Structure 1
Amino acid sequence: MSTATAGSTPQSNNVPMGILLMIGATIVFALQDGISRHLAGTYNTYMVVMVRYWFFAAFVVFLAMRTPGGIRGVARTSQLGLQIFRGVLLVGEICVAVYGFTLLGLVESQAVFICYPLLVAALSGPVLGESVGWRRWAAIGVGLIGVLIILQPGTGVFDPAALIPFASALMFAVYGLVTRYAARRDSTATSFFWTGIAGMVFMTLIGIWFWEPMSQGDWLWMALLCVSGVTGHWLLIKCYEMAEASAVQPFAYFHLVWAAILGVSIFGEVIRLNVASGAAIIIAAGLFTLWRESRKARA
């Protein structure tokens, strides 16, 4: 799962390069999801996420040290409770998402998870007081129909476990909104720092009790998981530094494409017709919502 936010340096608005960086980030994050599915299928989810966050926390500390003012300057915040809540919420979402990979696979998990931008749009009104017009509500409704097509509730094939990626999407949407709220008073660097530190501390308090011996080969996969996480975050930060979010965000849906390729080719997953059609509806509704937000921002 992606946990980075936009960088704080001035944008050059090089859209082609921004698109390439976004596509690169989706490839790396899909690889990260595949490795997480493999490791969490062998070891418990808590330990896998904990080790991943140790490396992530080291990464945010390294970035903070290179920032003017150092760690003390980056860590300074007047809303510490909110920042800790953000970090804990995100690490909880990652645990739920990785657990979903082990039950449902990458294809179905990601097909449901991609509805999170629609949930952000739906919750932006009550959480942030933003105006949500009837067109965006219509797009949200259409997208949720796509989710229902994937889940197939009320039929004999409905799997309650399919609600896990939806819960993950809801948690990630709330995390995004809380991050947007925190940005009113804190810099991106501060929020990113506390995302890693709070998540690492919380996950260590839980995951250390679930430690399992890991084979030498799987330690190599764990190292690759950590490196891919840092690489994905770096690419995403550079992407948002390079171009406006509205121009590159639609290409984030490539994450589903790469995850589907990995799921089918590596893990032997099958793309069912209802999953493909439901995902297409969700993506269409999400792209329409992004288009409406970009038009509103320009106006």
Structure 2
Amino acid sequence: MTEQNTRLGIGLMVLTTCIFAIQDGISRHLAENHSVFMVVMIRYWFFAAFVMVLAARQAGGLGVVLRSRFPLLQTARGLVLAAEVCVMVLGFVKLGLVASHAVFTCYPLLVAALSGPVLGEKVGWRRWAAIGTGFVGVLIILQPGVAVFSPWALVPLLAAFLFAIYGLLTRYVARGDAAAVSFFWTGTVGALAMTAVGLWFWEPMARADWLWMAALCCTAALGHWCLIRAYEVAEASAVQPFAYLQLPFAAAVGLVVFGESLTANVVIGAGVVVGAGLFTLWRQQVRAQS
């Protein structure tokens, strides 16, 4: 992989995190005024159309991406991700972008912790130490026992757990399915599941909110396209650490647009979590090279 391609991949990953931060802000705005299930459902409709267009342009068309070696696991992946999106958007509304993303950044630690029992990978003591340190950071953010603890503080932690399960299932099905197959199943299964739920929560939406909904769909498609391109032009190990930039970008949206506050415990805890997560990524890269 050339240096130029690595630079391009990093740039695309940084752009991806910025787009996703904007998408999260739009999601919070819409979900404050409308049902979370309806907002996510419409977003998935556009997402499904997007993946179908991409699939149709590939050699073999839809017939290729429909054939999976793990149809049940692919279905489970789509359902888990749809649930994670709903839970995370609920967290944006109840807890805010800053605190939600600060807690959510622990998901790579959950992936590392669960990779042993789920995928049969060996997790050494260094990564276990980093995982434990990261969850100390989560406790610093949540501050249980310091004040009246809100159950809503656990919502982004649940979202992180679901996203970790989704990531592990993605790594498992990658043993037999191409990335295009997984991407197609993610969009279509999620759209079908959210339609079955979201139609029960349908409500009128003002014209201005429909414009925001269009912006949400466009940012979702653009963000996923940039993410795909980032992994196409550069090694995953080179670009993955930059995914953490979504935390400061989302925090900036929360502070500037929604008037959220940035407390010392969130800054310190998020720093601990991100540091532990970067260490686990580094150790994973070292083990892969050895």
TM-score of the alignment, normalized to the shorter chain, above 0.5: yes
Output the CA distance in 2 between the equivalents of 1:166 and 1:12.
Answer: 37
- Equivalent positions of 1:191-202 (< 5 A) are 191-202=182-193
**Alpha-carbon offset, residue 242 of structure 1:** 1.0
Query: CA deviation digits over 1:162-182, x for unaligned, max 9?
Result: 000000000000000011111
Instruction: Identify the residue that residue 239 of structure 1 maps to in structure 2.
Output: 230
**Alpha-carbon offset, residue 156 of structure 1:** 2.0
Instruction: Identify the residue that residue 3 of structure 1 maps to in structure 2.
Output: none
- Equivalent positions of 1:143-292 (< 5 A) are 143-292=134-283
For structure 2, the 5+ residue unaligned runs are none
Query: CA deviation digits over 1:197-239, x for unaligned, max 9?
Result: 0000000000011101000000000000000000000000000
Give the partner amino acid of 2:81. Answer: L
1:12–1:241 Cα contact (<8 Å) kept: no
Output the CA distance in 2 between the equivalents of 1:295 and 1:78.
Answer: 30
Structure 2 residue 88 is the aligned partner of structure 1 residue 97: yes
Query: CA deviation digits over 1:28-59, x for unaligned, max 9?
Result: 00000000000000000000000000000000
Query: CA deviation digits over 1:143-194, x for unaligned, max 9?
Result: 0000000111122242221000000000000000011111111111101000
Output the CA distance in 1 between the equivalents of 2:176 and 2:206.
Answer: 45
Output the CA distance in 1 between the equivalents of 2:66 and 2:288.
Answer: 30
Give the partner amino acid of 1:83. Answer: Q
Output the CA distance in 2 between the equivalents of 1:94 and 1:240.
Answer: 22
Structure 2 residue 1 is the aligned partner of structure 1 residue 16: no
**Alpha-carbon offset, residue 115 of structure 1:** 0.3
For structure 1, the 5+ residue unaligned runs are 1-10
**Alpha-carbon offset, residue 295 of structure 1:** 1.2
**Which stretches of structure 1, 4 residues or longer, exceed 4 Å deviation after superposition?**
none
TM-score by length of 2: 0.98
Output the CA distance in 2 between the equivalents of 1:198 and 1:186.
Answer: 16
Instruction: Identify the residue that residue 39 of structure 2 maps to in structure 1.
Output: 48
Output the CA distance in 1 between the equivalents of 2:260 and 2:147.
Answer: 20
Output the CA distance in 2 between the equivalents of 1:42 and 1:110.
Answer: 21
Counterpart of 1:55 in 2: which secondary structure?
A: helix
The answer to which of 73-82 and 241-250 deviates more is 73-82
> RMSD of the alignment, in Å?
0.9
**Alpha-carbon offset, residue 297 of structure 1:** 1.4
Number of residue-to-residue matches in the alignment: 289
- Equivalent positions of 1:120-135 (< 5 A) are 120-135=111-126
Instruction: Identify the residue that residue 111 of structure 1 maps to in structure 2.
Output: 102
